Structure 1
Amino acid sequence: MAAKSSGTSPDKRRKYDEAFKAEALRLASESRSTQAAARQLGISPKLLYRWQQAQVVAEVGSVEVARDPEVRALRAANKLLVVEKH
C-alpha cells in the first residue's frame, strides 16, 4: 500500500495507484467508519469519500442512480446482509 509521489515540489498533489485505492476502499468497507479508515491510511476522509462515490457510480452506471435514495437504502441493506452472513 504505497503512495506514489509526483514531482519534487511539496505543493504537488500525491498520486495513489489503483492497488492503494482498492485496499483503501476494502478497509473502509470493513471499518466502522470511513473517517477512521482514512485516518489509519493517512489520507483525507474527503478523498476516501470521493473514491467510494466513484466506485458506486462505476457499479450502478450513473451518478443519478448512485444518488437515488432508494438505491442507497437498498445498497446499505445489502451490505448489512452480507456482513450478517459472514
Structure 2
Amino acid sequence: MASKSSGASPDKRRKYDEAFKAEAVRLASGSRSTQSAAQQLGISPKLLYRRQQAQVVAEVGSVEVARDPEVRALRARLKRAE
C-alpha cells in the first residue's frame, strides 16, 4: 500500500502568533464581512469569529457582559460612529 507524502500531516494544526491574531481581528473589524476577511487571510471564519469574541470578552471583562444585547448594540453604535 502506498502512502501519501504531502509534506504536512493532516492532523497538525497551524499555530498563529499574537501579532497575526490581532491583525486578523483588526482587518475583520474594518471589513464589512468577517467571512471575506477570513477568506483573505486563508483562515476559517469560525476561527475569526471566536477570536473577535475573545477580544470583546477581554475588553469588557466577562462573557455575560459581552453577550448582553444592550452592550452589543452600544458597541455596534460606537463602531459606526468611529
User: TM-score, normalized by length of structure 2?
Assistant: 0.88
Report the alpha carbon displacement of residue 22 of structure 1 after superposing the two structures with TM. 0.7
Q: Which residue of 1 aligns with 2:21?
A: 21
Aligned pairs, number: 75
Give matches, 1:43-62, under 5 Å.
Answer: 43-62=43-62
Structure ID, larger Rg: 2
User: TM-score, normalized by length of structure 1?
Assistant: 0.84
Structure with more of its chain in strand, by fraction: 1
Instruction: Show CA shifts across 1:3-56 (max 9, x none).
Output: xxxxx6331111100010011011001111000000000000000000000000
5+ residue gaps, structure 2, are: 1-7
**Residues of 1 paired with 2:14 and 2:69: CA distance?**
33
Cα RMSD after superposing both structures = 0.9
Tell me if 1:74 matches 2:69: no
How much identity, in percent, do the aligned residues show? 85
Report the alpha carbon displacement of residue 81 of structure 1 after superposing the two structures with TM. 0.4
Q: Which runs of 4+ in 1 moved over 2 A?
A: none
Tell me if 1:30 matches 2:30: yes
Instruction: Show CA shifts across 1:43-80 (max 9, x none).
Output: 00000000000000000000000000000000000000
